[in-house]
Amino acid sequence: MKKRVLITGAAGFLGSHLCDRFIKEGYRVVAMDNLITGDLKNIEHLFPLEDFEFYHHDVSNYVHVAGDLDYILHFASPASPIDYLKIPIQTLKVGSLGTHNLLGLAKAKNARLLIASTSEIYGDPLVHPQDESYYGNVNTIGPRGVYDEAKRFQESLTMAYHRFHGLETRIVRIFNTYGPRMRLNDGRVIPAFMGQALRGEDITIFGDGSQTRSFCYVDDQVEGIYRLLLSDYSDPVNIGNPNEITIGDFAEEIIALTGTDQKVVYRDLPQDDPLKRRPDISLAKKILDWEPKVGREEGMKLTYDYFKSLSTEDLNKRDHKDFTKHIRR
């Protein structure tokens, strides 16, 4: 009998790649997404498959799935700062109410739940690189706090269910991840730089370019998540690529990759934007025998090829996603 997995946020960037992986591994996949930030284009190739089913649903409301479930992966959440600054309450709700609903479902189904946490729980870190023992440096009431605190609460709630109810849970702390199916207009640095390069626009850097990021290719991230789900380790685990680069140097890499010659322009750094971000992945190496395999040069070329394949209409979508119909005043 094939095992059955529920993936929330399934039409999003990471969620859709997880759907692909679990189908490939022989699971029956139940995909769920409210399509606020997700896109059915990311999973439409799976619709004809007998082992794939999709539910259009917001997990902040009660979640019902008929039949058995072996695993639940909770990946529903806005993940780009522009998204969660525009829909802050929905971001808090999916991390709190959504997580609570899925913990209840996991308990009822006797399923193992893996939650997608984030390096953002470390905030603007005072420790570098960041390992899992670091408590973080987060502004709880700043504009970005809606995402950071939703994820921190999600971790607390998950561990409470694990300790009090004996629920099988896993927590992955995801660092910057990139690859095909990223939204070109989601405001994050890789799609922003690549979109600007492909359209022949100036490359925009927020701050002076000295802030650092560490980028993990999506296939490596999915492999780490898959191994963690099937492991017997219940505390949080960092999954990311420790190869760090300044945003200024990264802009130069993008210009070299795209073969364009536009100039770099600088804008003010947004409030509470972290100045450094690099995972310590010693724990993942030890307990999962995992480390990233795809180098930045290879991964960026694959991502660039994906963005190049977009239609002219998609490529020219500079305006950010409109959430008006999802907001109640």
Residue 125, Cα to own-chain centre: how many angstroms?
Answer: 19
Three-point CA angle 127, 229, 72, nearest 5°: 110
- The catalytic position among 147, 161, 178, 217 is 147
> For this structure, is 147 an active site residue?
yes
Q: What is the C-alpha to C-alpha distance for residues 95 and 88, in angstroms, rounded to an integer?
A: 11
Q: What is the C-alpha to C-alpha distance for residues 39 and 37, in angstroms, rounded to an integer?
A: 7
CA nearest 75: which of 142, 174, 169, 160? 174
203-206 and 237-239 beta bridge pairing: unpaired
SS3 readout for the chain: CCCEEEEECCCCHHHHHHHHHHHHCCCEEEEEECCCCCCHHHCHHHCCCCCEEEEECCCCCCCCCCCCCCEEEECCCCCCHHHHHHCHHHHHHHHHHHHHHHHHHHHHHCCEEEEEEEHHHHECCCCCCECCCCCCECCCCCCCHHHHHHHHHHHHHHHHHHHHHCCCEEEEEECCEECCCCCCCCCCHHHHHHHHHHHCCCEEEECCCCCEEECEEHHHHHHHHHHHHCCCCCCCEEECCCCEEEHHHHHHHHHHHHCCCCCEEEECCCCCCCCCCCECCHHHHHHHCCCCCCCHHHHHHHHHHHHHCCCHHHHCCCCCCCCHHHCCC
Residues annotated as catalytic are 147
